[in-house]
Amino acid sequence: MQKLAKLITNKPFVYSLWFGLSLFLVIKGVLAHQGFNNYTIFKYNFLNTIHQHNLYAYQPEHYYDLNHYGPVFSIIMAPFSILPDSIGVILWVLFNAFILFKAIQLLPLKKDQYVIVLLLCAHELMTASANVQSNPMIAALIILGFNFIKREQDFWAALMIALGAFIKLYGIVGLAFFFFSTNKPKFVLSFIFWSVVLFVLPMAISSPSFIIQTYHDWYADLVIKNSGNQHSVMQEICFTGFIRKAFHYDDLKNMYVIGPALVLFALSYLRIGAYKVVEYQRLILSSVLIFAVIFSSSAESSTYIIAFVGVAVWFMNLNRPVTGLEIFLLVLALLITSLSPSDLFPSFIRTQYIVPYKLKSIPCFLIWIKIIYETLTRDFASEKKSELAPAAV
């Protein structure tokens, strides 16, 4: 057990897994001349912006599927898009892995606990990297928003949250950390400032009229996409999707699930006296990261890197020793949520049950319910007293 404990906290080993698994997959794809459709879509977000072509129109001559990212994403993709694709896609995957690595490393956790968070999430990161997705970056922006608020750097926290929202909307959930700000007027003004800046920034490489029209097009695209997700096998991997499939309730409206979920989430904020307690704040962070995915109609397998960081942070935030139920929930999440898309999982179970019934969302949903329960019942004051009490001789 001691050797295992040393291994899972060994930084060179965990860092190698974190970056190595993702790097291996993308280099393998490059050497095999594999097409990276998602990366091509991202690149053309930039190219279409500078050439003022509709960002959300079909372009089958370049890629299949559609772009669903805001025009500010073109600024992020600019340095990658000017490189040869074989180099750009590798750097893009490494950039996503690195920014999420730094965000997790900066979390207010006990000494080296972030290493275990990285280890728990390494396979889920690999799933996102295999699809050269932007979700690791989105997760990082949400976490960085939390980290900057913890450091009383509201100006930069507002930038992280606004940037995430202007790229993929998921980032807007970072506003849930507003209550932890020690200078709320500064945070609000900073968020307004950065929203204006990010709104006009793409105009620097395009034109004001085109970018304004693009925001209108983006809204229309997201409305259409949300409707189409309900009939997609690989989309809507969320709790609503599970209910639709498991109970043959195709006409279920998203709000019938999201509404009660929002009420439950809001109940967490009744513990006003705990707002300054780091254990409570980490619970809210975990809840936000999981909520953003398990109740989103746009959630797909590679989106779960966002939720799984929430799962890992929740587990490291638990009182020790952990209970059997808590270990069971973590193992269930590792098996069903993280490992099920891989070749390590029986393909029959994946294709017949996990994928069609959206079961990847269920462990995260159960953990989210457990987090809500903890935010309402956990005795944070007693924990602080226990930490301050002298150790028994």
**Range from 5-14, 44-53, 249-258, 368-377 carrying the lowest mean pLDDT:** 5-14
* pLDDT over 70 (residue 391): no
Closest CA to 95 of 309, 112, 87, 199: 87
Query: What is the Cα 223 distance to its own chain's centre?
Result: 21
Sign of CA dihedral 369, 372, 378, 384: positive
AA letter at 372: I
End-to-end CA distance of the chain: 26
**How many whole angstroms separate alpha carbon 295 and alpha carbon 285?**
16
* Cβ neighbours of residue 125 closer than 8 Å, sequence gap 6 or more: 18, 21, 22, 97, 100, 136, 305
pLDDT tens digits for range 34-79:
889 999 999 999 999 999 999 999 999 999 889 999 999 999 999 9
**How many whole angstroms separate alpha carbon 14 and alpha carbon 359?**
28
* pLDDT over 80 (residue 385): no
Q: Where are the alpha helices (DSSP H) in the chain?
A: 2-8, 11-31, 37-51, 73-81, 85-105, 113-130, 135-150, 154-168, 184-200, 208-229, 239-246, 254-267, 278-294, 304-317, 324-332, 347-349, 362-377, 380-388
Residue-wise DSSP of 134-186: SHHHHHHHHHHHHHHHHTT-HHHHHHHHHHHHHHHSGGGGGGGGGGG-S-HHH
**How many whole angstroms separate alpha carbon 338 and alpha carbon 343?**
12
pLDDT tens digits for range 125-175:
999 999 999 999 999 999 999 999 999 999 999 999 999 999 998 899 999
* pLDDT over 80 (residue 6): no
**How many whole angstroms separate alpha carbon 212 and alpha carbon 23?**
37
**How many whole angstroms separate alpha carbon 355 and alpha carbon 99?**
29
* pLDDT over 70 (residue 386): no
Do residues 333 and 305 touch, judged by C-beta distance below 8 A? no
Token readout for 343 is 């070749």
Q: What is the pLDDT of residue 384?
A: 60
Q: Is the peptide bond before 12 cis (omega within 30 degrees of 0)?
A: no
pLDDT tens digits for range 107-134:
999 988 999 999 999 999 999 999 999 9
